[in-house]
Structure 1
């Protein structure tokens, strides 16, 4: 037996959504992906960059970093690019936490917060959501103590799709000790339509302990290339650069992301986001119209609480080619897909409207 850290094999692994590879015409709504392939200009950039695959990528992602800094009106040392926001949040925990420290976050939320804490030897602290499935900022603040090193706030929250008012977030940040890192995970921020919703970039100038995570997986349709970035103070940027994995962002991902920042491509992506938001409303209205409880969402997915027999319902939907995600014993998350995928889902929602016969006995 290889000697290893105690408990490492007991950490629950991240469970991805179903890919639907065995169902040719499946509605792939279990993972929060974009249903749209890269636009032509991005595809061309990807093709061109492949011809340099024999060379290492730019270690610093300089061109992309400078373009992102210009986009957010920051200095380049305030932008950190990595292979997805999951890599960034692990780097944050690695740099700031370890045995004897704590990581605080709302629950349910993104499972990688807990994974990152456990892998670093820190203690994860779950804080229950409010009755309307939002982050409870008051309870999170009460959970902070001298052992706390990082607070993760997923806004909009995954899997519930909810956010908080910006004024409430600002008051929370003001109340948190300035030497404690507050990570605002805004990987679904582009889908927010509420004008009063929390906005991390608006806080960066005032609070050097705030980090904002952004993703190009969802809004830009680059999930398969793994690229995300963090906006922060220069000091936090130095921490992230100190612990990053060398050459973690491929040349292909850098080229694709850079192309996404071109004005014409940005306009095309905004049109796709608008289409997703429109489909979100259509699916929400249809589901709630049949009596299914759905939480109003600001993300590219919908959360269904109180689904008795949820595992059986997910299985039955999969049999009909609609792949959705079980996120708790009685909770289901449905990503917003293409219009065709959403139509397919809505054509086979009967399992969501009934309680499976065995659920009353098993409590499932």
Structure 2
């Protein structure tokens, strides 16, 4: 086509996005603010600064930013393998656990295939599924704000390729017990990949959720998904990983965007693993604050499900949700609002948490 023909082409002839893209729900991040006295409790970030070892590792690697990172992330995968008792061939890394999840769905799902997950759960789930051309199958949470595994198993069809189990669940904080997950694995076809998404596993009390690595070793259709964004405090560097059979893990590495995990992120993740005791001390502090807040809120009259994440969940109708958001905004506290469902509040340091408790005390039933 000549330039003259191009210039005279009908105005309607324009590039268009795929229907799957134009119909995508928008991912709603936690609200941000630059205010000096703002308590940023909307994104489930660690309120601690990165571990000193991670900061030192990033500083040491910064002089090589002109070079591409190791696309295979060999050092990080080997360090994770040693830490977890698996082989490097069973690990795939990506830009946060959400990046690895995109690799999983891309690697396993064709157009029209189905991905089952609880709802409400992590907001990125339906976005990633629809972007791949697959069909999201949302199964409502049970009355205890947890996964209805019976309903999820009953929803499996011959088009089901992946099932996502978020434990502790985001945003409700409810874990899935080892016994229930194992019974679920016995009930679903071995051809379906069951992803145990454990973004908050470090904050969970021992025994509250599944021993996912033990289940992975017993059931080849299990994939364990984790991140350095939460307890390790590397949300801004974007690094997560999956543990899967060597064949699946290799497929995930093949579907990864080249060089998606920066050299700085890889070095910081390795250093953070080596500083595990310091990370665990920080986690212990968050868990103590979580328990303190939960006890005080229950004494105020709030009915909460025990959370195993670094956050608390308040189920709220439209009227209560509106009043809470107005009160939190007025007090300079940024919380995560879920339209139609409730409010999620990240557990931070004691002064910020006391501000939350004061607001909720004024709105208790």
Check whether TM > 0.5.
yes
Number of residue pairs matched by the alignment: 351
Residues 29 and 325 in structure 1, CA contact (< 8 A), matched pair in contact too: yes
The structure 2 residue matched to 1:16, chosen from 11, 29, 38, is 29
TM-score by length of 2: 0.93
Distance 2:257 2:88 in 1: 19
Q: Which residue of 1 aligns with 2:166?
A: 154
Alignment of 1:301-316 (within 5 A): 301-309=311-319, 310-316=321-327
Distance 2:24 2:323 in 1: 26
TM-superposed CA distance for 1:15, in Å, is 0.5
Residues 317 and 349 in structure 1, CA contact (< 8 A), matched pair in contact too: no
Note the residue ranges of structure 2 that are not aligned, 5 or more in a row.
Answer: 1-13
Deviations 1:304-336 (A, max 9, x none): 113452134213311211111112324111111
Distance 1:98 1:72 in 2: 31
Comparing 91-100 with 240-249, greater Cα deviation is found at 91-100
TM-score by length of 1: 0.93
Secondary structure, aligned partner of 1:224: coil
Residues 103 and 150 in structure 1, CA contact (< 8 A), matched pair in contact too: yes
Distance 1:118 1:100 in 2: 9
The structure 1 residue matched to 2:137, chosen from 119, 125, 134, is 125
- The reply to whether residue 181 of structure 1 matches residue 198 of structure 2 is no
- The reply to whether residue 345 of structure 1 matches residue 345 of structure 2 is no
TM-superposed CA distance for 1:351, in Å, is 5.6
Note the residue ranges of structure 1 that are not aligned, 5 or more in a row.
Answer: 355-364
Distance 2:341 2:107 in 1: 36
Comparing 170-179 with 219-228, greater Cα deviation is found at 170-179
Pick closer, same or farther for the CA change 1:61–1:299 going to 2, 3 Å: same
Secondary structure, aligned partner of 1:80: strand
Q: Which residue of 1 aligns with 2:211?
A: 199
The structure 2 residue matched to 1:142, chosen from 148, 154, 157, is 154
Residues 336 and 344 in structure 2, CA contact (< 8 A), matched pair in contact too: yes
Q: Which residue of 2 aligns with 1:297?
A: 307
Distance 1:257 1:7 in 2: 34
Residues 326 and 333 in structure 1, CA contact (< 8 A), matched pair in contact too: yes
Q: Which residue of 2 aligns with 1:287?
A: 297
Structure 1 vs Structure 2 CA RMSD: 1.4
Q: Which residue of 1 aligns with 2:253?
A: 241
Residues 307 and 332 in structure 1, CA contact (< 8 A), matched pair in contact too: no
